[in-house]
Chains A and B, each alone.
Chain A
C-alpha cells in the first residue's frame, strides 16, 4: 500500500475554474510537500506544510493532520497551470515519499 495517495490521477478544466487535488497519507508522515512538474520536466517546490493552510498567489494548500489529508487548490485556473502536481510526504522528517501525481490540463 502506498504511503501517499493522490486523486484524481488526471484532471481537465476550463480556464477560470477552481481546481482541487487531494492527497491522503499514512501514519509516519510528518509533513507534506506539494511539487509542480512542468511539461519540460523541471520540478518546482510549491509548499511544505505540517499544519493549517498556506497561500501563494492563486495556489492554496491545506492539511488536516487528524484526517491525514491535504488538498491543493488553484483558483482562477489558467492554461499555464497545466502540469503534473505531486504530493510527497516527509517520512522521518526529511525523507520524501512520493504520490503518483495528478496530471492537470487547463484549456482556454
Chain B
C-alpha cells in the first residue's frame, strides 16, 4: 500500500531554531508539493517540484524557508530561523502531475 511519508510527525522548537521537515513521495511520482495549513489561512501551497526541479515557490517566505529535492525519494522543507507564526501543519503530497496523495503532515509548534 504505497503512501507518502513525512517526518517528524510532531516538532516543538524554540523561536530562532532551524527546523527541517522531510517527505518521502510515492515511488514513481514525478511531482511533489509542500502545503501549510493553519486555522486562519487554511491550506496554502508553499512550493512544488516536477522531476525534482522547483517549479513554483512563490507561496514561500524566501528569507527563511527553503525547499529542496536532493533525490527522487526525498523532499525537504527547511525553516531558518523559525518564528512562532510558522506554527502550522505542513503537508507533503505527491502525484503524477497533480497532487493525488497526501502525507500525514508534520505538526510544528514554534514557541
Contacts and interface: CB of A to CB of B under 8 A. Distances in A.
Contacts of A94: 31, 48, 50, 95, 97-99
B43 to A, nearest CB: 4
A96 B45 contact: yes
A24 B96 CA distance: 25
Interface of B: 31, 33, 35, 42-45, 48, 50, 56, 89, 91, 93, 95, 97-102, 104-105, 107
A56 to B, nearest CB: 14
Main secondary structure of the interface of A (DSSP, over half): strand
A100 to B, nearest CB: 5
Contacts of B50: 94
A95 B56 contact: yes
Contacts of B89: 41
Contacts of A45: 100-102
A88 B44 CA distance: 11
A96 B33 contact: yes
Q: How large is the interface on A (under 10, 10 to 19, 20 to 34, 35 or more residues)?
A: 20 to 34
A41 B104 contact: yes
A9 B95 CA distance: 28
Interface of A: 31, 33, 35, 41-45, 48, 86, 88, 90, 93-101
Nearest to A88: B43
Contact of B105 (A41, A44, A95, A101): A41
Given A48-B100, A94-B31, 15 more contacts: A33-B99, A41-B107, A42-B102, A42-B105, A44-B102, A45-B101, A88-B43, A93-B97, A93-B98, A94-B48, A94-B99, A97-B45, A99-B42, A100-B42, A101-B42
Contacts of A43: 91, 93, 102, 105
B4 to A, nearest CB: 10
